[in-house]
Every structure is written in C-alpha cells, then in structure tokens.
Amino acid sequence: MRNWLGSISVFSLLVSVAPALAQGNPLRDAYFGETHIHTSWSVDAWVMGNRITGPDDALKYAQGQTIKHPMGFDIKIDTPLDFIGVTDHSEYVGVTKQANTPGSYVSKLPEAQPMIMKDPNSSAEQNQVFSYLLKLAASPPVKALMDPKVTSTVWKDNVRIADENNKPGKFTAFCSYEWTSMPGQRNLHRNIFFRACEHVPDYPFSALDSKRPTDLWDWMDAQRKAGNELLAISHNANVSDGWMYPVDVDNTTGRPIDAAWAASRDRNERLIEIKQGKGQSETHPLLSPNDEFASYELYQTILGQPADSGRIDHITGSFARQALKDGIAMQDVRGYNPYKFGMAGGSDGHNTGSPYRQDNFFGLHANADGSVERRFAGVLIGGTMDVRLENPGGLTGVWAEENSRASIWDAMYRKETFGVSGPHIKVRFFGGWGYDAGVVNAGNWVQQSYEGGVPMGADLPPTPSAGKGTAPHFVVWALKDPSSANLDRVQLIKGWTQNGQSFEKIYDVAWAGDRTPDKWTGRVPAIRSTVNFDTATYTNDVGSAELKTVWTDPDFDSTQHAFYYARVLEIPTPRWTLIQAVKSGLPPPDVVPLTGQERAWTSPIWYAPSAEARKAAQAGTTVADLKDKGAAVVSEDELKALVEGKAFWLKNNVTGEQFWQSFTADGHTTVYRVGPGAEMPSGFGKVALDGYEGLTSPYKVEGGQLITFVSQDAYAYTFYKLGDAYYAARSNEFGYANYQIVPPPKFAINPLDAVVGRFADTLKLTEQQRQQALPFLKQELMQLASLKKDASLSPEQKIERLRAFSVSLDEKLKPLLDADQQASFEAVRDQLRRRLIEQVASKAAGEAEADVKSWFTRESDK
Amino acid sequence: MSDIPQERLSLRQRLLREPLVHFMVLGGVLFGAYALQEGRRDGVEPSRRIDLTISDISQLVRVFHSQWRRDPAPEELRQLVEEKAREEILYREALALGLDKDDTIVKRRLAQKMQFLAEDVAAAHEPTIEELKTWYEANRERFAFPPRIGFRQLYFSTDRRGAKARDDAEAALAKLAGQTESASIAASLSDPSMFQDYYSDRTPEFLGKEFGPKFALAITKLASGSWQGPIESGFGWHLVYVDALIPGRVPAFEEIEPEVKQAWLAERKSQAWDKTYRDLRAKYMIFLPAPPEDAPAHESSKTEQSTPPGRKDPS
C-alpha cells in the first residue's frame, strides 16, 4: 500500500539542454508562465477524473493549442504562455516500450519477456501483452521494473516531452516537480524548478523521503553542490495552518529557528506562489485591517481534513506579507531573515490546462468542478474544498533577457519576478536614491532605472554618504493586459520594524482618473464600478492602460529595516460566479463576492540601515534590560488580581499609542480608543473595528501570562514589575517589553484652555488680551490639527503651510501685545523656528512637524 | 529508446556495480540481517519472512545516492533497510486486512496504470517514414506556420486623449496620406508609447499577447506599403505601416519530421487506449437497480447501459 501512496509524492524529472544566457537585452522583457500544473500523471489528478491528458498536452495547451478537459469538452487558453513547468510525477510509464527495444536493459529482464512482441503491429500480440500487463498491474509492484535503470529512462521520456516543447527564444519548458509535504493536512508544498535538465537526479526528493522542509533544503544544497542548480517555490501558505512561516520553532522538526535555518531557507526558497486557484496568500484582513483590498480570494480551509473534524486553518503564519514583516524584525533583532522571497503565481490546476480568466473558468479539478451545476452546488472536494471559492489560476511574470530556461530561471533566482492573478499585467519596480521625478517620462526610463538603482527582488544600495536625511525613491510602472480590464491604481506596500514590532502601510502612488486622495486617510477613493450585474459585463470607460510614477517614502526612517513592494489593481470586473450565473440562469453563489479586482504583486525591494544608521535608532526596552534593572516577573496570582474584572490603560512605548483594555471577570476582553489611524503593530487584529463595535475576544491568565487571542492565535503578555511600574512583553515581539500600564490620561475638556493658559502665562497677558487672542489661537490650533492629519500634502508642503500659519498668526497677535510682550513673543517664535529649521535639516520632516505641534498642545493632548 | 548509454555512467555508478564495493559498503548491515535470519530461519513462515537480496539493497544504495550524491553511512543504510522492511510489512498487513478492497484511490491508481500500459504498447512501434508522410498529408493543416508581419506603429493613447483618441488618429492618418514609413512628421502626431516603434517578423500570436487579439486580427487585414488604420489595441488606437507580410504556409514534411512523429505517436496512443477500453468495455454489462414501485413507468426496471454516459460542455 505504501508503494502507491508514496508514488503520490515521487515525481517525474525531466532532462534537457539549457541554452546559453543571452547578453543582448540588458533591459529585459516580461515573460509570463505557469509554475504549477498537474496532468493525469499526477495520482491525485487521476483520482479526480483527469484520465485523458498528460504533460505533452499541458505544454501544448500553454502554447495555445486546444486540448480536452477531463470531462471531454475542449479547452483553450486565452493568451498563450511564454514558459511553463509541469509539476507532476510518474511511474511505470514507458516499460513496455523499453521491453520492445532490442538491447535495452529492460528487454533482458525475465519479468519483461512476456511483453516483447514479435510484430508490434499485430493486434493479437498487443492484446496478449496487455493481458500480461494487467496481471502485473493487479499484483504488487514488480521490483525489477521499479529499478532506477528503468525509472530513470522513464524520466528520460518525460524529458523528451519537455525538450520537444522547449524552443529557446520562443517557449520554455522547465524540468520541475512538486514536493508534496502535508504533515497533519498542513500544506507545506514546494514546487522545485531545475535551471537545466542535463543533471537532474535519477530520483527527485519526495515527501516520502521526508516531510521536513529542512531535509528538502539539505537535498537541494547537495544537488547545487553537484552542479545541479535548482530553486523552490512554496505555495498555498494560506492553507498551511500557520506552519509555512514560523518565527520561533520549525514545527516539522521541533527545533528553534536559527541563522543556519534562515540561510538554508533563503538559499533554496527564492519565490512564493502569491496566488493560485485556491486563493491568495498575500495577506488576510485580520493581519492587514487597514488594507481595503485584503479581502480578496480568501480560501481558508484545511485541505483533505475529514469534513467532520473540528480544526480551523490558522491565519497567523500563513500569509506572505506578515512573513516579510517578521523577516525584517528577525533581521533587526536576531541578525537573520529567512523570509526574503520574491513573488510568483500559478494555478495548481489538475486538468492539464488551467483557466486564467474569470470568463473562461472551467474548473480546476476534473469531474469535481467541471460543470457549472457542480461548481454552483458548492461541492466539497476532499471533504473541505468549497468549489465556489476557487478562482482562475495565477501566473508568474519574470523580467528576463530572453525566453530560455537559463535566462528565466536566473530571473526567478534573483527574484526579478511578479505574480499576477491571471491577466498578463506587466509591472516594473525599481528602488534607488537619486531618481529624478521626471524619469518615467524619459524615452530611456528603463535604462535609467536600472542604472540608478535596483529592480524588484533586490536590496536597496547603501544610502549615499551625501544623502543623509534623504528617502529612497521608487520607480513604478504598470501596463494593463491588452485583453483584460483597465488599471485602477498602483499601490506601494511598505513594511518596517522597530524594537521587535513590525508595521505596514499602504500608499496609493499612481491611479487612473482625477480622483483626489481622501484628506484624512490619504486613500484614493474607490474607482467607479462599470460592472453590469444583469449581463455580467464591464467596460473600460474608467481606468488607465498605463500607470507610472516616481514615489518617495514620506515616512522614511533611515534607522529602520523596511521593505516595499508594488501592487497593481485592475478596475472591478465580474467574478466567474456572476458570469456563469448570468449564462446559466442560476442565482450566483452568495458565499463569494460578485466582482473582484484582478491584480499583480511585485517582489519586494528591501532597505537595511547601515551600522551607523542603526546606532541612531530609538533604543527600546527588552525583557533582558528590565531584568538587569531588577524587574520581577508578575506572578500568576498577582496577574489575575491585576487583570480579571479590571480595565487599564496600556501604552505602546514604540509608537506612543495608548489604548484602554477591559477584561471581564469571565474571560472576555476588548481594546478601546484605537482608530484606524492608530499606528498598531502586527498581531492586533481588527482592534479598531472591534472596539468601535464593542466586540470581545477571549483571554485567559495561564502559566503566568495574560493570553489574548486574534482569531484562534494566541498572543501572550508577560508582565514585569519594576518599582511601581508594570511593563509587558508581547510574545510576538522578539524579546522586547514594549508595553507599560499607564495612568488614565488627562483629557482637557477644552484643549484651547490649556494652550491659551500656557500662552498667557508665557507672555503675561491680561484677561482682555486673552479674550482677544482666543479666536486666533483657536483657529491656529485647528489648522495645525488638520495639517497633521492631511495626508494629501508632502512634508515639504506641510512645512510651507506651517510657516504660513505662523506668519498669519504673528500678524494677528502682534497688534494686541505691548512692547515687552511682543519681545517675548518674538523670542518664543525665534526659538521655535530655530528648532524647526534644525529639525528639518537633520530629521525626517514629519517628526519636525509633530514637534512644532507639541509646542501648542503637549499638555492638552495627554 | 535505448538503455542508459555507457558514457553516462559516472565513476560512482561503475563503482556501484562492483561486487567488492557492495560487499564493503553493505557488509555490516548484511551481516546483521543474516545473523538475525539464521537465528530464526527455522519455523518462520514464508509470509512472515522479508527476504532482501543484494540487488534489493544495492538498489536502496543507488536511490540514496541519486538523492544525496553520496553513499549512505552504515547507520543510514540500516535505516533504509528498516524502512524498506516497514513498507513491506505494512503493505502485507494491509493486504491481509483487505484494505485494498473498495478503496477508491487504489482502484483509480490501478486504472491509471492500465492506461499507461496500454499507451506504452502503442508507442512500442516505430513508424516508417512512409507511414508518417501519409499521415502528415492527411493532417497538414495542424502544422501550418503562421503569417509573419513587419510594421511600424503610431500610438494614440486613450489615457491621454480619452474618447478623442480615435478621431485624432483619423486626423493624423489624413496628414500621413502618401507619406513614407519613416516620415519625420509621424512621431509628432502621436503619443510616446511603451511599445517599440518598429516590429519585425512577428506572428499574430505575439501581437495578440503584446497588443491584444483585436489588433492581431486587424493588422493581418491591412494593406501593406502605406499608413493604415486606425486599429484598436487594448491600450488605445494605432496607425500602422506594414512593410513586410510573409503569408502563412504549410511546411514540407522534411522541415518538421520530428514534430510530425511526435503528433503521430500521441494520436496513436490515444487511439490505442480508446480501442483497448472499448474492447474491455464490450466484455462487461452494467445492471442498474430496479426503481422503487412508484417511479415513472418509462424507467426500465433493468437497464443495460452499453455506452458510457454522454458528456457535455458545461459552459
């Protein structure tokens, strides 16, 4: 029994000739390919009913030829691909042919004698051989025919198929297979891509050999050492139940993650599949509560789990953006980053050919989802996979010199790649320090971009020594798929870390039409939807064909590790469920949205502070620091007394945010006074919304810790007492104790009173002067408050506004003051300006502005 | 298909074939296994015996070597042997419990092997050149080369010009009437674009990817030797000067013999499998259950289905 079970994960290998790397096209072109497809040669595909088509058909389909869906109807790709790697397995194939080849190894085996035909065209003889094969197939595997000498020729057969379809310059067929590790139904799958096919091993490393990624990496290292370059693309982190991106312990080995583990992962796992037929693995609304586009093609399921099992897929540890954030936090605190991956996309289709468009969705799993009735019925494949949640396959985009195995593989290795949800959206992304704002309009902008910085997937070059205080510039360009919808916007997604906490922010950087970013949130409003729900169509009346810009990070802090990647969104279009509802007359399933926005994701560009810059970073407090100072861990009983049935204010000492948290006596908690604008670190879930709605989540005091939950994932606080002060370390913040219980903040009923009071004291104003100055100060205060939050202004513009405010205030106040008072006012103003100028010169503009504001509001704020 | 060529055998592989090396590498394990066997040989039922031969064990070593590019250490080899035994034991126990019966996956996997084997039988025959030629003559259209086009294009962006893009292109075309392909005014009339100004020798398929299917279809219908259009792409409107059009053609057999052979083989495999299955199917009859008493009368109580159920396009 184990033999055939094992064969699920023993996969085919292909051998072939790699052409030399092209030198002639340094600006590179975009190529689109499928990096994850199964044919009938995959046992699971066969089981689901794919019995007709093999790897040859997959390669034909990718090149635009019509093939058969397992249910017998024709399928054809919308836009042919530039490359593909079939990720199958095989066994037993080719044995008969070997037996009938005079002089071959098989032909001499006693077991093979009955297969040899004197006249291969005699149907009588064919039948005779076939009956023998039937006997063979019905009995346990024939060891002689499982010999590597036989199976390696079988793989040669597969290689022949890849080689016959590999046309350097036109179409690339890779040697690839899937490593299908699934401990406890947790998807840890990786697709393995070989650079060349001449040196592929006789046997691929299968999950039968080991389910541990570390063993796979060791094997890959051994292959690489022997001159056989290869890389892995992990997929479906979203259904890994939290095991794809661990930060502390590798669950498959039980060993702590260390520098060697990180280096091994980084060396071998160059890309991740960000989207495929079973959902996207970019992020989840719970991890990215401020990302209004995060609720997209979610597919939260444990694959293959019995339908009556009560397990639920864990969210933490299952998404790429959080892994990128954890990665830089690990880099900052521990000195290594296992998660510096690039983006890819695939389908994971099991029909030999996959759909990539909403208007061409013929399913991914043979009979199980091969008809609209079955798809709409919400069939549960393998017990838990809801067909309605499926969506067309993604694709991998690469920027490569030419369409060849070596050139495309090298692009994958250096992560100059992007994933698309299906349409061939092209996106370029460069980072550097000196890009001119007009560079995207130059005829040779691509060349200038390569020369002035680095492309997607790379690290920003060191900050130029003369560039102190400057922020990196990013060139981003996106072009729609000519056969798909227009583009809505390009976003840059930034992640950064400080004192063990990590953060994310999304910037709209280029968008179609004359929309203005919302003044308070900085977000570009949603584009008008052209979707007609009666006909399930859309028009390109809105949106752009091309979007491009040069963007500078307005919040850049040179002391913090950061990453940036671009996300391109198409305008809203009907989802396949709506399209097929209209065609079939059935009501559309209500468990999925009716429309969606197709998208592309680039590989990130990383920023690492220099040693010098890192030294200037704001120092945090670690648990070790607290212990050194003599802090004691708060005991469980003390903690229960502190928490249960109580409420208190906590301050995040990294961001300065304060929030009020209530704990009921029977185990429920809610965080209040956090808005969507609050700078919340990773792992807080949707606290803003929950606080607003008054929703609770469970908590418990256990093992000396306060354990809170975001969905089902535990985040534990350990409390320390130092003198009278309570500090807390959160379990996901890498040894930092970033929280402190603080006294309830004082609220000024009228913030103006405090400012005016302070102002009056400083200048010794009379009561009459106070009354006269009040309206001007009130106006100034409101202007400053709104200025701070106005995200539509650049830092430079803000400082300009600030200057304008103070000049106008000066003009209004001075006539009210006597000579002495005017002198003191001048002195205060001067001091303020000097401070402002110094800060602008040395620090990020945003901080300076905050400080100026604090001169007026410091007391009233708190 | 031939056997593994001798020159592909590495030193390692040759060494692996040396009995002496086998002996040295495997000595420890074999000795242990042998000693174990000797002690228990009497009274051990054949069904309880797991016999491993030298060739079994050298295969384990070979597989290990192909994975790790080195020989297993003695301890690793012991584990491989234990693994092998474990597999065999569980397999036998599972069979004894009848776990292979009524297991859908086992059934389907075996059915899959049937197809592979049937196709192999078909593929065992090497076609003659005459066979291939005859077949090619009947299937020529499948191998047709697409037309190839060389052209210069001017872009009128809908991003920039909105709904006016087409009219602007029309107006520009009027100015370009009678102008040459390299007319200096051309660039000034149109928008800068992300495309090349000139494309040589491109197939409609490439143009479909680059400009969209509408453009690819339209351009093949344009007259060459003058500015034409406007034609629409996925990005806006274009004026096009086609300067080279190589019509599509069906190649001679000799040009594409390997591809013909491949296609011939694929078709033969598929036919062989269809026939094999038809023959097998003919030996069987399917009996459906009798419907309940109150079922509609037109349902016959004992239906024989002689053909597989029809399949239809779901879309």
Greatest mean pLDDT among A82-96, A109-123, A495-509 lies in A495-509
Using the Cβ of B111 and the Cβ atoms of chain A, whether some distance falls under 8 Å is answered with yes
pTM for this model (two decimals): 0.77
Report pLDDT digits (tens) over B53-73: 888 888 888 878 776 778 888
DSSP collapsed to 3 states, A659-681: EEEEECCCCEEEEECCCCCCCCC
The answer on pLDDT for A350 being more than 60 is yes
- In this complex, do A96 and B233 lie within 8 Å of one another by their Cβ atoms? no
B85 interfacial to chain A (CB closer than 8 Å) = no
pLDDT of A839 reads 54
Alpha carbon of A485: minimum distance to chain B alpha carbons (Å): 9
The rounded distance, in Å, linking the Cα atoms of A245 and A325 is 11
A854 vs A77, higher pLDDT: A77
Task: Give the least confident one: A32-46, A90-104, A437-451, A686-700.
Answer: A90-104
Confidence of residue A183 (pLDDT cuts 50, 70, 90): confident
Region A404-414: mean pLDDT is 98
The two tokens of residue B140 are 């020529």
- The whole-angstrom separation of Cα A851 and Cα A678 is 18
| Contact between residue A49 and residue A366 where contact means Cβ atoms under 8 Å apart | yes
Residue A153's pLDDT band (boundaries 50, 70, 90)? low
In this prediction, residues B174-192 reach a mean pLDDT of 87
Higher pLDDT, residue A521 or A560: A560
* Short-list A612, A506, A592, CA closest to A551: A506
Which one is predicted more confidently, B68 or A835?
B68
Distance CA A242, CA A828 (A): 56
Among A63-77, A371-385, A396-410, B134-148, the range of highest mean pLDDT: A396-410
CB-CB neighbors (< 8 A) of A136 in chain B: 117
How many beta-carbon pairs below 8 A join chains A and B? 194
Is residue B213 less than 8 Å (CB to CB) from chain A? yes
Structural element, H or E, at residue A740: strand A739-742
**Does residue A821 contact residue A763 with C-beta atoms inside 8 Å?**
yes
The secondary structure of A461-516, three-state, reads CCCCHHHCCCCCEEEEEEECCCCCCCEEEEEEEEEEEECCEEEEEEEEEEECCCCC
3-state SS class at A615: helix
Domain definitions of chain B by residue range: 6-101, 146-246
Fold of B146-246: Chitinase A; domain 3 (3.10.50)
Q: Which of A691, A690, A698 is nearest to A666 (CA)?
A: A698
Residues in chain A with CB shorter than 8 Å from the CB of B50 are: none
Q: Please answer yes or no on whether B1 and A580 come within 8 Å at the CB atom.
A: no
Residue B6 pLDDT more than 50? Answer: no
- Name the percent of chain A lying above pLDDT 70: 83
Please state which of the ranges A120-129, A712-721, A784-793, B134-143 shows the lowest mean pLDDT: A120-129
CB contact under 8 A, A133 and B70: no
Residues of B in contact with A2 (CB under 8 A): 87, 90-91
Over residues A753-764, mean pLDDT: 73
Distances (CA, A) of A10 to A86, A151, A207, A317, B158: 14, 11, 8, 27, 52
Q: How far is CA A407 from the centre of its chain?
A: 25
The answer to whether the CB atoms of A94 and B2 lie below 8 A apart is no
The tens digit of pLDDT for each residue in A136-145 reads 544 444 555 5
Q: Which helix (H) or strand (E) holds A720?
A: strand A713-722
Does the pLDDT at position A293 exceed 70? yes
- Encode A142-175 in three state secondary structure: CHHHHCHHHHHHHHHHHHHHHHHHCECCCEEEEE
pLDDT for res B156: 95
Beta bridge partners of B144: none
- In the predicted model, is pLDDT for residue A787 greater than 90? no
Tell me what pLDDT residue A409 has.
98
Interchain contact, B315 vs A372, CB within 8 Å? yes
- CA A25 to chain B, closest CA, distance in angstroms equals 14
Measure the CA–CA gap between A246 and A228, rounded to whole angstroms: 28
Mean pLDDT of chain A: 86
The Cα A732–Cα A248 span in angstroms is 9
B45 vs A: CB within 8 A: no
A673 by Cβ neighbours in 10 Å (0-12 / 13-18 / 19+) ranks as middle
- Taking contacts as CB-CB distances below 8 angstroms, the residues of chain B near A490 are none
Q: Does the pLDDT at position A400 exceed 70?
A: yes
The 10 Å Cβ neighbour count of residue A222 is 16
* B141 contact residues in A (CB cutoff 8 A): none
pLDDT value for A845: 41
Q: Collect all residues with Cβ–Cβ distance below 8 Å to A575 and sequence separation of at least 6.
A: A358, A391, A592, A593, A594, A595, A596
pLDDT of residue A98: 58
pLDDT band at A306 (very low <50, low <70, confident <90, very high): confident
Q: Where are the domains of chain A?
A: 2-400, 429-615, 623-742, 751-861
What would the mean pLDDT of A695-703 be, rounded to a whole number?
Answer: 96
**A395-400 and A417-420: which strand pairing?**
antiparallel
**Cβ-Cβ contacts under 8 Å, A133 against chain B:** 114, 117-118, 121
Mean pLDDT score across all residues of chain B: 79
Identity of the highest mean pLDDT range in A20-34, A408-422, A796-810, B254-268: A408-422
Residue B121 near chain A (CB below 8 Å) = yes
Give the model's pLDDT for residue A2. Answer: 35
Lowest-pLDDT range of A769-783, A835-849, B273-287: A835-849
Between chains, do B279 and A127 touch, taking CB under 8 Å as contact?
A: yes
Q: Indicate the pLDDT class of residue A404, thresholds 50, 70 and 90.
A: very high
Mutate to test the interface with A, among B76, B83, B113, B233 (most CBs of A within 10 A): B113
Q: What is the pLDDT of residues A798-829, one digit of tens each?
A: 777 777 777 777 788 788 888 888 888 777 77
Between A825 and B41, residue with greater pLDDT: A825
Show the tokens assigned to A506. 């999304």
d(CA A812, CA A825): 12
> A176 φ, ψ to 5°?
-155, 160
Interface of A with B in 531-570 (CB under 8 A): 544-546
Can you read off the two tokens belonging to residue A777?
């100060």
Residue B238: list chain A partners with CB under 8 A. Answer: none
Omega of the bond leading into B230 within 30 degrees of 0 (cis):
yes
Give the angle subtended at the CA of A553 by the CAs of A547 and A556, to the nearest 5°. Answer: 165
Asked whether residue A61 carries a pLDDT value surpassing 80, the answer given is yes
CB within 8 Å: A201 and B66: yes
A366: left (phi over 0), alpha (psi -120 to 50) or beta: left
- Per residue in A841-856, pLDDT (tens digit) is 544 444 434 444 444 4
Distance, in Å, from the CA atom of B142 to the CA atom of B259, rounded to the nearest integer, reads 11
